Amino acid sequence: MSLAQPVPLRQDASVIGLVGMAHATSHFSHLLLAPLFPVFIREFGLSYSDVGLLVSLFFVISGVGQALSGFLVDRVGARPVLFAAISCFLVAALVASQVTGYRGLMVVAALAGLGNAPFHPADFTILNHRVSAARLGHAFSAHGLTGNLGWALAPAMLVGITSLANWRTAYLAAAVMYVVVLTVLFWHRDKLLTPVVPQRAANDAGEGALAYLKLPVVWWCFAFFLLSTMTLAVVQSFAPSILQNLHGVGMEQATLTISAYMLCGALGMLVGGFVAAFGQQHGAFSSDRVVALSMSAGALLLLLCAMGWMGGTGTMVALSVTGFAVGIGGPSRDMMIKKATPKGATGRVYGTVYSGLDVGFALSPLIFGQFMDRGWYALTLVGAAVSLALAVYAALGVGRRTRVA
């Protein structure tokens, strides 16, 4: 039976679950160091600039590696690349448990960034080849949802174990978690096998490995991810400080707003999976328009937050609902990229366009950090809304070019 043909629900669910578990470890590893920054600052005498550089190092390596790893996925298949990525996380956690200073932390950030790099091209190559077309919307929904859960788990696990024992024990526990995930994936490795497009055949057909870079739609997709991620980075990095300075919200409440944003985003992705599946099966609406509507709603909510009319509690609620609105568009976003991907170039295209995530995470603090330093707290939220509105324009641009193609 061809992999493109519908398969039993149980088989689809197994593939989705395995890829989702792997994706959760990727997002967990985004925060492998950040929750314990206060500990490192205290123990190793570091500054905020020092620990901020660790974040930049992670995303620079991840971004460059993500664009390059797509070629590797297309050449050797997604499965071995995925195993190697999780192995990098395992080594990073083991190194973190033994570090004695800043250089060790830089090695951890580099290893984690290297491990994070192949996840989107590997994950989406597996999902696109191993999940039946009718269930892809739900697959993309579960993929995004598990990523959000990984973000939520990291601080709870690392800080929680640190408070009960110490931070070195926390990283050893993370290493055990990676071993468990890797073991489960290896045990079910037959479900993660993907076909490999012979490179010589592609070149003989006049489709060189870099030919996809000439497609304008690829760069519209890249721009979409860069711009939408800049908004997410503002919420993750600055929302607590904005709430404290504009509305006098306590630190614990302000921080909980970020958790609420992520959980609402996960719920939105769950709903968005049904929206994407319905739109695909019935042709009721295109994926780019779903993305545009959901993110336009998010941009309007951010503008409402910037006005300051709702007070502290109202603003926290509105920010949380923003996560839900943006989350609804997540599965349709991935369907949109699938439609824009040439046959045989899944890994390369996903690697390139999703590297926009890393660029957005790297650029946003540099730009909006200047706003925050000047006390432009409301304007920072306006900037996040503008970035999301520009992402809407990019999504519609992808849709126009995909329909023409």
Q: Pick the more confident residue, 87 or 67.
A: 87
Q: Say what the pLDDT of residue 403 is.
A: 61
Q: How confident is the model at residue 404 (pLDDT cuts 50, 70, 90)?
A: low
| 32 neighbors 96 (Cβ within 8 angstroms) | yes
pLDDT tens-digit series, residues 257-294: 877 888 898 899 889 888 887 776 666 567 888 899 99
Instruction: Return d(Cα 124, Cα 113) in angstroms, integer.
Output: 19
Q: Say what the pLDDT of residue 137 is.
A: 79
64 pLDDT exceeds 90? no
| 75 neighbors 196 (Cβ within 8 angstroms) | yes
Q: What is the 3-state secondary structure (H, E, C) of 258-315?
A: HHHHHHHHHHHHHHHHHHHHHHHHHCCCCHHHHHHHHHHHHHHHHHHHHHCCCHHHHH
| 184 neighbors 15 (Cβ within 8 angstroms) | no
pTM of the model: 0.75
Query: Once rounded to an integer, what is the mean pLDDT over residues 5-22?
Result: 85
Q: Give the CATH number of domain 1-196.
A: 1.20.1250.20
Instruction: Return d(Cα 10, Cα 13) in angstroms, integer.
Output: 5
Q: Say what the pLDDT of residue 394 is.
A: 92
pLDDT tens-digit series, residues 176-210: 999 999 999 999 999 998 877 665 544 444 456 67
Q: Pick the more confident residue, 226 or 209.
A: 226
Instruction: Return d(Cα 384, Cα 365) in angstroms, integer.
Output: 11
Share of the chain above pLDDT 90, in %: 38
Which class is 209-405 in CATH?
mainly alpha
92 pLDDT exceeds 90? yes
* Residue boundaries of the structural domains of the chain: 1-196, 209-405
Q: Say what the pLDDT of residue 206 is.
A: 41
311 pLDDT exceeds 60? yes
